[in-house]
Amino acid sequence: MQVTVLGSSSFFPSLRRSWTSLFLNLGGGDAVLVDAGSWRLMTFRADILHTNRVYITHNHPDHTGFIGALVRRMRRQNRTRPLTIFCPTDTVQRLHHFIRIFNHNKIPLFVQIHPFTPDIPRTIDHLSSSQTEVKAAAACHTTLTAAYAFCQGDKRIIISPDTGPRCPTLLTLARGANAWFHDCTFATGRLLSIRKGHSTPQNAGGDAARANVKALILIHISGLRLRNPRAIVAAARLHFNGEIYIAKDGMSFNF
């Protein structure tokens, strides 16, 4: 599977970093998105229109703001194939709002929204062409928030853009995974990060070590705060010995 970062920024973006979204090419014609905050959904290459699922982590605008733009592009191609959107229960209104803004105040018929309550890790979806099992678990954030795992055989990728550290349900979801795309909103400030439901690089490195994952990919980063990427990696390295990357918009990872 290939994961392409469409947006790697926290709520404070920069010209190079847009709000959160990741595009996953799962093989066998299955393509999915996690979150829809990135303005690149308006312009990114055409294969994004093959997306058959969107998994939304939570209702904050930096994760939902451009779902309407994506739906608009699909509508203009006369799409009839369903676009299935999974999201926490309290995110439906927000999605309706952003879809209506871009689509003449309507929700096109091909859009199907499946709300659920994230809790302990459980399977929420199965994509048969690519033999992918999708699991969700509750993240530790300021509102009802999901994290997702994409599992193919013994391969597992975890995506949790907004979470505080030491989140028990996430540590269970991530145990032994190949890679963890982990919140890295704050450069420093352990107490601030816990109070705000976000993480520092030290927090992310600690979680990666506790879950014994192979690679840690830091996302949901403030472009303004990222003056010294080496220091960010060094801070995560204090706890974690595996591979560490700082996600950038447009970057792809193959697993």
Question: What residues line the site for Zn ion (CB under 5 A)?
Answer: 60, 62, 162
Q: How far is the CB of 10 from Zn ion (least distance, A)?
A: 6
Using CA atoms, how far apart are residues 114 and 53, in angstroms rounded to an integer? 11
Contact call for residues 115 and 89 (beta carbons, < 8 A): yes
Specify the residue, 1 or 247, whose C-beta has the smaller distance to Zn ion. 247
Q: How far is the CB of 110 from Zn ion (least distance, A)?
A: 27
CB neighbours (10 Å) of residue 30? 19
Q: How far is the CB of 97 from Zn ion (least distance, A)?
A: 16
Specify the residue, 39 or 255, whose C-beta has the smaller distance to Zn ion. 39
Q: How far is the CB of 126 from Zn ion (least distance, A)?
A: 27
User: Look-up: residue for tokens 């907004």?
Assistant: 162
Closest chain position to Zn ion (CB): 60
136: nearest Cα among 166, 163, 107, 111: 163
Specify the residue, 18 or 132, whose C-beta has the smaller distance to Zn ion. 18
19: nearest Cα among 51, 56, 72: 56
State residue 196 phi and psi, 5-degree precision: -95, 0
Q: How far is the CB of 137 from Zn ion (least distance, A)?
A: 16
Classify burial at 6, counting beta carbons within 10 Å of its beta carbon; exposed 0-12, middle 13-18, buried 19 or more: buried
Contact call for residues 136 and 150 (beta carbons, < 8 A): no
Partner residues linked to 215 by β-bridges = 179, 243
Q: How far is the CB of 9 from Zn ion (least distance, A)?
A: 9
User: Look-up: residue for tokens 């055409």?
Assistant: 46
Specify the residue, 3 or 127, whose C-beta has the smaller distance to Zn ion. 3
Specify the residue, 175 or 196, whose C-beta has the smaller distance to Zn ion. 196
Give the alpha-carbon dihedral of 220, 107, 123, 185, to 10 degrees. 10
